[in-house]
Structure 1
């Protein structure tokens, strides 16, 4: 399931943020997201989280959203994987 979540999350980031082809494929766990990718600004966060919910079939509660989960690709992936395991 984690490979599936990883691939889907990379596609979501590419689609929502309009990243260059294969840009997300080069992300590793330490790749910075919020504050590092100019495409991921505060306005894009809501759209990104909505797409993650829709495509991964999870629900993200407001109190779960914090800067740590959006800081790196690894943190966002770990959050998404944990949510899918509970779903």
Structure 2
């Protein structure tokens, strides 16, 4: 069973990645849980990570602590989606 709000979180995450990284919505729509992010997308450098996290906080109404940010949560679209879902739904 998919928790309520999961689709909205994923939609928001896709919109944030498109906006902050200047990626086309069509490209971001093709992202699967296995799609690589940090280290795979040249647009997602360390400065862009800060922008993505700030936008996620603003759009999802969450607080992301520095100690929660690591390479694993940014490794794939699925990992980032799971992280965002956990922050919003818990």
TM-score by length of 2: 0.93
Structure 2 counterpart of 1:24: 28
Q: State the partner residue of 2:82.
A: 78
Q: Which runs of 5+ in 1 are unaligned?
A: none
1:17-76, Cα deviation, whole Å (9 max, x unpaired)? 000231110000000000000100011111110000000110000000000000000000
- Structure 2 distance, partners of 1:45, 1:75, is 14
CA distance in 2, matches of 1:54, 1:35: 24
Runs of 4+ in 1 over 6 A off after TM superposition: none
Alpha-carbon separation, structure 2, partners of 1:45 and 1:6: 17
Distance 1:73 1:47 in 2: 16
Cα-Cα RMSD? 0.6
The number of residue pairs the alignment matches comes to: 86
2-side partners of 1:15 and 1:21: how far apart?
Answer: 9
Partner of 1:11: 15
The aligned residue for residue 57 of structure 1 is 61
Task: Assess if the C-alpha contact under 8 Å between 2:15 and 2:25 holds in 1.
Answer: no
